[in-house]
Amino acid sequence: MIKKFDVVIVGAGGAGLRAAVEIPKEYSCAVISKVFPTRSHTGTAQGGVCAALSNMEDDSWENHAFDTVKGSDYLGDQDSIEVMCKDAIRAIMELEHMGMPFSRNEDGKIAQRQFGGHTKPADMNDPYGKRVSVKRACYSADRTGHVMLQTLYENTIKNQVTFFSEYFVTELLMEDGVCKGVVAFDIATSELHIFQAKAVLIATGGYGRVFRITSNSHAGTGDGMALVYKAGLPLEDMEFFQFHPTGLWKLGILVSEAARGEGGILKNKDGERFMIRYAPTVMDLAPRDMVSRAIITEIREGRGIRGSDGTDYVLLDLTHLGKEVIDDKLPEITGFARTYLGVEPTTDPIPIQPTAHYAMGGIPTNVNCEVLLNEDGDIVRGLYAAGECACVSVHGGNRLGTNSLLDLVVFGRRGGKAIHEFLKTASFGDLNENAGKETNGTIKKLMDSKGSEKISNIRTELQNSMMEDCGVFRTDEGLRKMISKLKELRERFKNIAVQDKSRVFNTDLVEALELENLLLNAEATVYSAYARHESRGAHTREDFPVRDDQNWMKHTFAFWKEDQDPELKFKPVVVTRFQPMERKY
């Protein structure tokens, strides 16, 4: 069935919903989401969304921009970072005006707290001297993402946006470098629909599910990135995947950095506050890549704690904060520790380990969310991307906490605005009569297959080996191993069987399609990591331990090639006002 909309937005998380709110009513707009909108991953975000509001102490957008550039290990494009940090204050006010419930300070303004990597100069007259942590993260207890997602969804209801919930997008309709729509199937009925559109915005979130230990939802399989990749368009900087230092041991469920922002401390088995040795000034509030490496190093050097199942962890100690702070400011995450590990955070430290958390890389776009065709910056007509699936790149090699929720609302809105502008002159093109045939074929093949491979086995093996060989620390040997593992898994995937043959709500089929996407995203990640012979941000090569600005101040662009290794190309980093410096905290 063919449906026609001026705009199709794929994804109903923070980025997709914010974009939807921006499309004026005179244009028809459909939002497609594989889960009901309020089930989107944005709702799990806990800690905050940042802007230099100066509600608690003096701050400036320039401080914020400097931190973001430094946090990115100088891989972030500074023009995009300036756009985001300048617009941040307006974006937060807008959320407040939309009705988002924030925690407040004594003056009734939005309250702010500290977060990793957010600093300001200790002495205002010495802007590049010693820096101290600053209260920049706006929050709503530890449910910031939840109330933000609810607020945005509420605003789409007010604006009467059309939703296609529990529809799974399988294919981009690309013809001659122009995007003409998407193909989706209705999960409830298995019926295929062609959504013809003048403009498509992809806002499908991240792919943390490619790793065994992750904070990401089951839906976090990076479908949008994989669709774009398979359509022959590049994926940028996929080697940069953030591991958050504090996931609940074994489960990966996130304990927000807000816990350390409020004063929580990391300790090893000797009870030592080990971050003193790794980041003497900001300690536990150093950026995530550094803290995750520190934790793994402690464990490797025998200072972790061995758990009942033979895996290791370190401790996050909140006991000194007192019951009141814990109950008021961190109710949700301390609840997780109680429910899932049986630990009482007011009296006992919480066992934690690094957890795969955030994709810095993704679909390359310019600051107007237009998707790039190549490393020269040419754009794909009619195709936009925003949110975690996109790479603008504001996060570079390592994202600072609270910068993602900000990214969603700043670039979600910019994407919506750019599309509005585009629609003034755009028209529907002709659709190729073969549109949808490919998805039809893929699904038929999966459903008819009598193969012997199990979806869950391939997925588990992928997640285990990605954790092992493409995780916090990487080596040439490990990545080679991972490359051959991927080849093996891709072969085996051809022999996969969808055992549920029903056409009604077939989640077995959904999992098969998601697995293919995970394999595609893993491919782009591993090959990009293999090629980057340096350590920068979250990408740590033990065989190339230092950052190499001479050769690697550039973004990786990976292109999919059928039955071949992907092709890698490179695009220089945009540097405006901040020259690369050594990254010390």
Catalytic residue ranges: 288
Q: Which two tokens stand for residue 202?
A: 């992809």
Is there binding between residue 229 and ligand FAD (CB under 6 A)? no
The correct pick among 186, 327, 348, 500 for binding another protein (CB under 8 A) is 500
**Interaction residues for ligand FAD, span 349-368 (CB under 6 A):** 357-358
Cβ atoms of residues 177 and 381 within 8 Å = yes
Which amino acid is present at 404?
S
Is there binding between residue 404 and another protein (CB under 8 A)? no
Is there binding between residue 447 and another protein (CB under 8 A)? no
Question: CB under 8 A: which stretch of 15-23, 66-74, 331-339, 563-571 binds another protein?
Answer: 331-339
Is there binding between residue 110 and another protein (CB under 8 A)? yes
The correct pick among 186, 438, 468, 508 for binding another protein (CB under 8 A) is 508
Is there binding between residue 540 and ligand FAD (CB under 6 A)? no
The site partner of 205 among ligand FAD, another protein, none (C-beta below 5 to 8 Å per kind) is ligand FAD
Give the residue among 523, 504, 515 at the shortest CA–CA distance from 454. Answer: 515
Cβ atoms of residues 256 and 345 within 8 Å = no
Nearest approach in angstroms of CB 386 to ligand FAD is 7
Whether residue 393 is preceded by a cis peptide bond, meaning omega within 30 degrees of 0, is yes
**Residue pointed to by tokens 């794909």:** 380
Nearest approach in angstroms of CB 215 to another protein is 9
The correct pick among 56, 85, 111, 254 for binding ligand FAD (CB under 6 A) is 254
CA distance 550 to 469: 27
The correct pick among 24, 58, 99, 477 for binding another protein (CB under 8 A) is 99
The correct pick among 311, 432, 456, 576 for binding another protein (CB under 8 A) is 456
The correct pick among 6, 20, 38, 48 for binding ligand FAD (CB under 6 A) is 48
Q: Write the CB contacts of 555 (distance below 8 Å, at least 6 apart in sequence).
A: 75, 236, 237, 364, 375, 391, 393, 570, 571, 572, 573
Cα dihedral: 134, 138, 140, 142 (round 10): -50
CA distance 367 to 376: 15
**Interaction residues for another protein, span 254-283 (CB under 8 A):** none
For the chain, how far is it from start to end, CA to CA, in angstroms?
56
Q: Write the CB contacts of 370 (distance below 8 Å, at least 6 apart in sequence).
A: 379, 380, 383, 384, 418
CB count, 10 Å around CB of 530? Answer: 20
Cβ atoms of residues 73 and 383 within 8 Å = no
* Burial class (CB within 10 angstroms; exposed 0-12, middle 13-18, buried 19+) of 378: exposed
Q: How many residues bind ligand FAD (CB under 6 A)?
A: 46
Beta-bridge mates of residue 567? 559
CA distance 183 to 196: 9
Is there binding between residue 33 and another protein (CB under 8 A)? no
Query: Is the Cβ of residue 50 or residue 110 nearer to another protein in the bound state?
Result: 110
Nearest approach in angstroms of CB 182 to ligand FAD is 8
**Interaction residues for ligand FAD, span 179-218 (CB under 6 A):** 203-206, 215-216
Query: Is the Cβ of residue 456 or residue 495 nearer to another protein in the bound state?
Result: 456
The correct pick among 139, 207, 336, 411 for binding another protein (CB under 8 A) is 336
Cβ atoms of residues 571 and 555 within 8 Å = yes
| Residue count of the chain | 585
The correct pick among 5, 13, 150, 252 for binding ligand FAD (CB under 6 A) is 13
The site partner of 108 among ligand FAD, another protein, none (C-beta below 5 to 8 Å per kind) is another protein
Q: How many residues bind another protein (CB under 8 A)?
A: 62
Nearest approach in angstroms of CB 565 to ligand FAD is 25
CA distance 258 to 332: 11
Query: Is the Cβ of residue 205 or residue 478 nearer to ligand FAD in the bound state?
Result: 205
Is there binding between residue 503 and another protein (CB under 8 A)? yes
Site string for another protein, 178-207 (x = CB under 8 A): ----------x-------------------
* Helix count and strand count (H, E) for the chain: 16, 23
DSSP string, 261-277: HTT-EEE-TT---THHH
Query: Is the Cβ of residue 102 or residue 115 nearer to another protein in the bound state?
Result: 102
Question: Which residue ranges make up the site for ligand FAD (CB under 6 A)?
Answer: 10-16, 32-35, 40-42, 44-49, 144-145, 168-169, 203-206, 215-216, 219, 223-224, 254, 256, 357-358, 387-389, 401-405, 408
